[in-house]
Each structure stands twice: as structure tokens, then as C-alpha cells.
Chain A
């Protein structure tokens, strides 16, 4: 049941509660149902032979979870972590059940309601810029929020490829 609900969110319905966060001056949104918790930046153990955006692993109350720096993942310049830097722990469904992954973002903004009418389909940027992990663009208070399908961000080109690279 839970899985079905998850799929529905991914494929069709774009409305609902979204957690918005910042990367540089861009605002992104993330389906709140996927968010497990938000923690401040903490000690991360880097894992050898992994791509630069894989910052490593951290201890989340006894569980070891991988951490992805979304800035690096999206090709932004690396930036020092500040006290505004947050790790959003998201829950994905992996091959062996639930999978927790931490994503590092510049700052978490708010939880906001986004309705279908606010969302526009992702424009075609052309060229090699693939945007299949963007669910759509929402306009809220004059700002554009890029709605991410976080499981695609992390799985399609993310963790899977990382194994290959190693």
C-alpha cells in the first residue's frame, strides 16, 4: 500500500506538502512523505573510491547511512558547510527494502503546500541536460521551486553508478 502511494506521487499527482530547501539561490522542493528527518551537519566518514558527491557515511543513531552532497551531485561548486547546512534524511525503497540516504543541502526553508495548479511541467532545456528527475516547477510567492523526484536523483545516476565506478 505504502509503495503504491509512493508511486502515485512520483508519476502523476504533483500536489501535496513539499519540503523546500536551498542550493545557492535556487529553491528546490522534495515530497515530504519521503523525508524521514532533518539533522544538522555532523561528522562524515569519507568512503574511498567513491565519486566526489558521495560525501561518505554517517552514524544515524546506530545505523550507517550514505550521504550525498546535492551541490556536487548537481555540479555546483563545493562550499564550506555552515550551521545552516542541513542533512535531509530521505527514505527510498531500494532493492532490499527501505533505504535511508542523507542529502546535504545549503539550508532547509519550509514545508509548503503545493497544488496542481501551481505546477508547470518541466520545460525542455534541450541538449544533453536531462531533467527526468524533476517532477515539475512550482511558482510560489513569485519564486520558482524545482520539485525533485528524489529517488530518481539518487538512484538513476546516483548510487547505482557509484557501485559501477568502484
Chain B
């Protein structure tokens, strides 16, 4: 379309990119080269009427000029260079003829103004939209134009907001930390930019206001008080609500969305903004000198004298260079310090790419098939007749590769538990606020990996356990003081791998569990017998019984009758267990969830009934035995029982339940598998045990998944489908049948 796409334009941009890439700190000569390249680009773009490129080039021009001549900007070297390189990327896209995203440019302009304090003068349209919602009451925004853009926006914003939440909690602990404010500011800024582009005026307006507030804090014109943090949290929640609203409306296919009224919150932000004007704290990126001193690479005196020298002689070189020249610090030391200085801004970014879950699942499926196909080939009778060393070496090599591939494929579903833990820090903060307690949350083992699906499932039980610890565990500050403990309570979230399981623990240093009190309460509620002596752990496990709650008063947080039994139920649904430890009253308690690494794989016992094979989840199986004839009883010739070590257990005939023909009918010739669920036991009659195997759980497909007694299917070693028994469902089914009888 335009000759900017020709070699001249491309060459210019290539030169710029390379120069930026190789630009070392304070290399003024190269900076000049980049500047002149951008100037040529600007002229070219103006000639050809590529307004956005010209404007971008002008912006780059301004930043580069400032970098050359303005010390204030030079102090923010990295940020400025980053912006310039983004401008270059933008121009490259535009010159290649890609669709130009006007928001990107305005975001860049805005960033230049905000973070580098460079006035771009002739700024035409700012995405800030400070005026956008001022007098506009609720209106509506069309959503149907570009669904994907909105969807991306939703995912990204939620991610950003969650990140912000964590950072705000950190910020509260350390209100002077500029890096945190910067990070939060940037996140709001991104949300603002994109929402402006998508015309989500309410989101845009609110994030703009919050950003303004944060900007003041960032520049040190506003002290980060509890009020500021609270109002930011409020804004986070509000924006989250709006974003969820957007996502819900897209999901339900609505074409537009009414704007939310944010005037009340905006007023609160303003009030906070004006409420305080406290002295500025030290400025944002740490000074190189400070870093060097902190790292012990230079003494403060060296740094100061070098700085003075620089000031006196108006030496344009950066401090690092002067220090190197004076041999006070090794170049390596300066480089390291610069890296630290740089690292402050960008929070650790994980090296990862987004992959569609469906793609991942089908990869796992296909790898599973590969494993089956491989074993079919290896066990083929014709193959077994081959008499060749070489062939068997190759076959075993194939086996190793496939199993390695399977391991990798399975591990791709695993994600660190970090995000879930970080979400908890917000919850702890809110809970502590509400209950008037001081609580510090410590995290440990955040890098522990767990299945992606599991992450979502453990959220609720974890919140419940944390609530329990905060509300019932940690005492109010005065009570803690009286007990000789620090006023600030401590809750530790811990995750680690233990024998093929993931253990997630919530530990607190609160009042702990009082076995006597629990027992009395349990007896009171009829949850425990009066006479039977119980071990301590048995007593503790009583708190997971339905209808047990020891909180004396009902609070906003917990104690509304929804007890820990829900936690146990949820955890058991995930095929895990939950346990509690408390060494002595007053020294805290610890709750541990032990969970399988993944929901996708089940450790199963394969049983045969007639010609059918079923998979029984191993964690439900207590034992298997051949019932003796004299231990088999019937009730009115219908209800059947067997006696296992003194316990009378109802006998469930699987072949009867699932109408399997040609199964063994005489219990004395068959096997009984004792299964347990929620403390109840039954004996399930089967023909024989085939083996033990880890199988990948799959749904039977829509319409089949609600089948009672079957929780899913698994592909067995021979490529056929085996059904996985749902013990809970079988209990329900047999319970119903018993009721009918």
C-alpha cells in the first residue's frame, strides 16, 4: 500500500530494533543513531500520510531527545528504552500493514507522560477519558462487535486484578515500596488502556481514577495509608465485578451491557486523594549507588564522592562508569547492580505460553493411545516370535520414549499452587480486618505443582480452612497479649509433595484445639458415645462431623452452621483426606489436606464381573476377601449380609445392580470387596480381581455422565473402555433399593 512497507522503511525499523537491542546503558552515540532513524521514519510516514506511524515516531523522538538531554529521564533509562522499543514494535506492525490498534499508541503516549513526565504537547486524544463518565449516567455499551477481544480483555484483566490484589497486600506490609506501587500502577494502566479501547467506559473511568491516585502515591505526593489501600481494594472489587459482568454477558450472548454507576466510589477515591499530602518518600527505581552499597560492592563514601564529582564537573557519564573508572567497583559489580536496579520494576515473569486446554487434553488422549498402541504391538504374538536382539532393543527404546512422552504430557497439566496461595493473602487480610485481628500470612511451597483442574477445586475448602483458622484459631490481640504471644497472629499456608500426594496445610499459632471441649460438645450433640474412649486424633476428627461447631458466637466470617464437614466432603470428593493436628491448647493448630496430584488419574483396582471389567477407586477399597458360607446371611431372603471380622456388612451384588449376565452368583465362589465411603462400609460382590492400575479418567460423554454408580470411563491396556465405579453412587443405589424392599 505504501512505500513504508518497502525496503527503506523496513530497513530503518530493522536498524532501530537492532540498535535498541544492543543499546547498552548510557550509550549516547547509539542513542543518537536511533533518534535520527526515528526522524527519518517520521518524515517518511508524514510524506505517506501514515498518521499513526508518524505520531509514534514523534513520541519516540521526544523520549529519545529527553533521554539525551534530560537527567530526570535518564534516571529512568530502562523504562524509557522499553517504551522506545515498544514504539518500534508498533511502527513495525503498522508498516507491515497490520491493523493499527489506536489504544496501543495512546497507551504508549500516556505511559510516556506518566512514567517519564515528558509532555508530548500536541497529544490529540488521550484514552484517559477522565471526562468520559463524569456526567454520563448509566448507559450501555455494545459488546457484540468483537467477542474475542472482550474475552481476552476479561482473562487479562482478571489476571491483572488478581496480581494487583496480592501486591496491595504486600504494599500494606510495606507502604513505602515504590516498586509495588509501580507494578500496581502499571496493571491499572493496562486495564485502563484496553478498556478505553473497548469502550468499556465505566471500567476505563474507574481504573483511570485509581491510576491517578496511584500516580500521586508513586511520585510521593500521597502517603500510602490504610485508607488509600482500602479504596484501591474497593476499586479492584468494583472493576472485577464489571469485568465478570462483561464476561457473563458475552457468555449469554447479550449484545450490550449497561454501564455501572461509579460516581460514589469515584468520590471516595477523590476524597482519599485530597485527604492527605504527606512528604514524599525516596524516589522510585533504587539508585545504583544504593544498590551497590547494599550489595557490599562499594562503600557509601566511594559512591558519595563519585556522585559529588559527577555533580561538580557536570560529568555526563553515569555513576557506574565513574565508579569503574576510579576502580572502586569492578565492571561486573556494576553490571550486577544494574540488573538488580532493573529487576525491581518487572516482577518475576514466568516463562510460559498459553495453550488451549482442549489441545492439551487431546495431546494427553493421543499420548495415551500411543502407549496402548505401543503395548499392543509389543505384546503381539507375532512380534513375540521375532528373534532379533536389535529388534528388542528398538522396541524397548520405543517403550522408554513413549513412557517419557506420557510423563511429560501429564506434567503439562500441572501448575504451581502459587496463584491460589496468593489469592488467599487477600482473603486473610479481609478476614483479619473484619474480625479486628492482626494476622500475618506466610506462604511456603508455592512452587508445588498440582493439576490445573485441582487448583479450582481446592479453592473453596482452602478458604474454609483459612476462615476457620482466622476466626476460631487466632485470638483477638488482647487475648494473645495476655497469653504471652505476639499480638500479630500468624497463619502459614504450606504445600508439599508427600508420597505421590500433595499436602496442603493451614497452620496457625492461635488457641489450638481443646480435646476436652470438643469431646464434651460432640457428646452434647450426640456425635460421640459417652463411654467409648477416643484417641486424641479421633477426638479431633470429630470436628469434621456434620453439625459440629464450637464457636461460641456466630460471626460474619464463619460459624453460620456450615462447618468443617463441608471441607471434608469437598476433599473427599477430590479423593483426598483431611486431618487436623494440635499439640497442646494454646499453641496453635494445623489442618492438612492430602490430595492426589491430579484429578485426571485414578489409582484403581480392576475387577471382573462376568465379561465386564470395572475399575474401583483404590482409596475406597478397604479389603477383598472370599466370604465363607457360614458368614453369609440373608434377611427375609432378600437383604444379604456378610460378616467381616465381626462387622455385618450389606452385600451388594454388582452383577445384579448392573445386570451383568454370566457372573458368579454364589458368594462363596465369588469375591467380596469391602468398600468404604463417608464412614459407611459395604461389601461388593465381584468375580475376581484382575489387577491394580493407574488409569486416566474420562467422561463417558454428554448424557452418559450422570449415570448412577459409574463415575466415568478409562481406556484399558487393550484399548477397550473400562467403567469406573462410583462408590458413593453405588451406596445411594443400594440404599434406595433397600428402602424399596
Q: Report the separation of the CA atoms of residues A43 and B612 in the bound assembly, to the nearest whole angstrom.
A: 12
Contact B703 A163 (CB under 8 A): yes
Asked if A160 is at the interface (CB within 8 A of a chain B CB), the reply is yes
Asked if A61 is at the interface (CB within 8 A of a chain B CB), the reply is yes
Contact A62 B365 (CB under 8 A): yes
Instruction: Name which residue of chain B comes closest to A65, CB basis.
Output: B701
Asked if B32 is at the interface (CB within 8 A of a chain A CB), the reply is no
Minimum CB–CB distance from A94 to chain B (whole Å) comes to 4
Q: Report the separation of the CA atoms of residues A100 and B721 in the bound assembly, to the nearest whole angstrom.
A: 16
Contact residue among B369, B703, B720 (Cβ-Cβ distance under 8 Å from A159): B703
> Which residues of the other chain, B, contact A54 by a CB distance below 8 angstroms?
704
Minimum CB–CB distance from A22 to chain B (whole Å) comes to 26
Asked if A29 is at the interface (CB within 8 A of a chain B CB), the reply is no
Q: Report the separation of the CA atoms of residues A59 and B365 in the bound assembly, to the nearest whole angstrom.
A: 10
Contact B702 A95 (CB under 8 A): yes
> Which residues of the other chain, B, contact A95 by a CB distance below 8 angstroms?
702
Q: Report the separation of the CA atoms of residues A29 and B164 in the bound assembly, to the nearest whole angstrom.
A: 57
Asked if A136 is at the interface (CB within 8 A of a chain B CB), the reply is no
> Which residues of the other chain, A, contact B701 by a CB distance below 8 angstroms?
57, 64-66, 99-101
Asked if B601 is at the interface (CB within 8 A of a chain A CB), the reply is no
Contact with B along A122-133 (1 / 0, CB 8 A): 000000000000
**Which of the four size classes fits the interface of chain A?**
20 to 34
Contact B722 A45 (CB under 8 A): yes
> Which residues of the other chain, A, contact B699 by a CB distance below 8 angstroms?
64
Residues 86-105 of A at the B interface (beta carbon under 8 Å) = 94-96, 99-101
Instruction: Name which residue of chain A comes closest to B613, CB basis.
Output: A45
Contact B702 A61 (CB under 8 A): no
Asked if A63 is at the interface (CB within 8 A of a chain B CB), the reply is yes
> Which residues of the other chain, A, contact B588 by a CB distance below 8 angstroms?
none
Contact A64 B698 (CB under 8 A): yes
Minimum CB–CB distance from A120 to chain B (whole Å) comes to 32
Contact B702 A48 (CB under 8 A): no
- The stretch of B323-331, B522-530, B709-717 that contacts the partner chain: B709-717
Contact B707 A62 (CB under 8 A): no
> Which residues of the other chain, B, contact A62 by a CB distance below 8 angstroms?
362, 364-366, 368-369, 715
Asked if B585 is at the interface (CB within 8 A of a chain A CB), the reply is no
Contact B703 A66 (CB under 8 A): yes
Instruction: Name which residue of chain B comes closest to A160, CB basis.
Output: B703
Contact B704 A48 (CB under 8 A): no
Asked if B708 is at the interface (CB within 8 A of a chain A CB), the reply is yes
Contact A64 B700 (CB under 8 A): yes
Contact B708 A163 (CB under 8 A): no
Contact A49 B658 (CB under 8 A): yes
Asked if B657 is at the interface (CB within 8 A of a chain A CB), the reply is yes
Asked if A72 is at the interface (CB within 8 A of a chain B CB), the reply is no
Q: Report the separation of the CA atoms of residues A54 and B722 in the bound assembly, to the nearest whole angstrom.
A: 16
Contact B704 A159 (CB under 8 A): yes
Minimum CB–CB distance from A159 to chain B (whole Å) comes to 3
Contact residue among B364, B657, B720 (Cβ-Cβ distance under 8 Å from A45): B720
Contact B700 A66 (CB under 8 A): yes
Asked if A162 is at the interface (CB within 8 A of a chain B CB), the reply is yes
Contact A58 B365 (CB under 8 A): no
Q: Report the separation of the CA atoms of residues A137 and B285 in the bound assembly, to the nearest whole angstrom.
A: 77
Contact with B along A38-79 (1 / 0, CB 8 A): 000001011111100010111101111110000000000000
> Which residues of the other chain, A, contact B364 by a CB distance below 8 angstroms?
62
Asked if A166 is at the interface (CB within 8 A of a chain B CB), the reply is yes
A61-B366, A61-B369, A159-B704 in contact; A48/B721 too (CB < 8 A)?
no
Asked if B593 is at the interface (CB within 8 A of a chain A CB), the reply is no
> Which residues of the other chain, A, contact B708 by a CB distance below 8 angstroms?
49, 166
Asked if B659 is at the interface (CB within 8 A of a chain A CB), the reply is yes
A94-B702, A99-B702 in contact; A64/B707 too (CB < 8 A)?
no
Contact B710 A47 (CB under 8 A): yes
Residues 133-166 of A at the B interface (beta carbon under 8 Å) = 158-160, 162-163, 166
Asked if B306 is at the interface (CB within 8 A of a chain A CB), the reply is no
> Which residues of the other chain, B, contact A47 by a CB distance below 8 angstroms?
700, 704, 707, 710, 723
Contact A45 B612 (CB under 8 A): yes
Contact residue among A64, A99, A100 (Cβ-Cβ distance under 8 Å from B713): A64
Q: Report the separation of the CA atoms of residues A163 and B721 in the bound assembly, to the nearest whole angstrom.
A: 20
Asked if B481 is at the interface (CB within 8 A of a chain A CB), the reply is no
Instruction: Name which residue of chain A comes closest to B702, CB basis.
Output: A94
Instruction: Name which residue of chain B comes closest to A48, CB basis.
Output: B658
> Which residues of the other chain, A, contact B698 by a CB distance below 8 angstroms?
63-64
Contact A48 B657 (CB under 8 A): yes
Q: Report the separation of the CA atoms of residues A50 and B723 in the bound assembly, to the nearest whole angstrom.
A: 13
Contact A49 B707 (CB under 8 A): yes
Asked if B436 is at the interface (CB within 8 A of a chain A CB), the reply is no
Q: Report the separation of the CA atoms of residues A163 and B366 in the bound assembly, to the nearest whole angstrom.
A: 29
Contact B709 A49 (CB under 8 A): yes
A49-B658, A59-B721, A61-B366 in contact; A159/B707 too (CB < 8 A)?
no
Contact with A along B328-370 (1 / 0, CB 8 A): 0000000000000000000000000000000000101110110
Minimum CB–CB distance from A60 to chain B (whole Å) comes to 10
> Which residues of the other chain, A, contact B660 by a CB distance below 8 angstroms?
48
Q: Report the separation of the CA atoms of residues A57 and B702 in the bound assembly, to the nearest whole angstrom.
A: 12
Q: Report the separation of the CA atoms of residues A160 and B658 in the bound assembly, to the nearest whole angstrom.
A: 20
Instruction: Name which residue of chain B comes closest to A63, CB basis.
Output: B365
Contact residue among B659, B706, B710 (Cβ-Cβ distance under 8 Å from A163): B706
Asked if B719 is at the interface (CB within 8 A of a chain A CB), the reply is yes
Q: A45-B612, A61-B366 are in contact. List 5 more A-B contacts (CB 8 A).
A: A57-B721, A64-B698, A159-B702, A159-B704, A166-B707
Which A-B residue pairs are the 5 nearest by beta carbons? Answer: A62-B365, A159-B703, A48-B658, A45-B721, A62-B369
Contact sample, A vs B, 21 pairs, CB 8 Å cutoff: A45-B720, A45-B722, A48-B658, A48-B707, A57-B700, A57-B704, A57-B713, A57-B723, A59-B720, A61-B365, A61-B366, A64-B699, A66-B703, A95-B702, A99-B703, A100-B701, A101-B701, A159-B702, A160-B703, A163-B703, A163-B706
- Which residues of B pack against A, CB within 8 Å? 362, 364-366, 368-369, 612, 657-660, 698-704, 706-710, 713, 715, 719-723
